Amino acid sequence: MSVRIKLKLFASLGQYLPPDARQNTVDLDMPEGMTIAAVLDGVGVPCKSVKLVFIDGVHQFPEDLDCRVLESGETLAVWPPVAGG
């Protein structure tokens, strides 16, 4: 059985989305039991490029990336580290 999530990659991470992504967002069908880290790895996002992760607007801590399993209908939003001045 599979689950469908919405993946949003912001700023420089948008380069890892497929060409058909709209507004930095894509719907993904994936097997049940996929963790945040597995989803990001599956689309090619390097862990070192990830700073902030939210599921349905709730912040996810770095230690949760390998154990938090995504459920159908959830939205995974990811931001890279931001530099500026």
Is the sign of the CA dihedral 59, 62, 68, 72 positive or negative? positive
Q: Where are the domains of the chain?
A: 2-79
Tens digit of each residue's pLDDT (9 = 90 or more) over 2-38: 999 999 999 999 999 988 899 999 999 999 999 999 9
Mean pLDDT for the chain?
95
Is pLDDT at 84 greater than 70 in this prediction?
no
Q: Measuring CA to CA, which residue among 35, 23, 33, 29 is closest to residue 60?
A: 35
Tens digit of each residue's pLDDT (9 = 90 or more) over 45-79: 998 999 999 999 999 999 999 999 999 999 999 99
For position 83, what pLDDT does the model report? 61
Helix, strand and coil content of the chain, in percent to the nearest 5, comes to: 20, 35, 45
Q: Are 65 and 35 in contact (CB under 8 A)?
A: yes
At the topology level, CATH places domain 2-79 in Ubiquitin-like (UB roll) (3.10.20)
Global confidence as pTM: 0.93
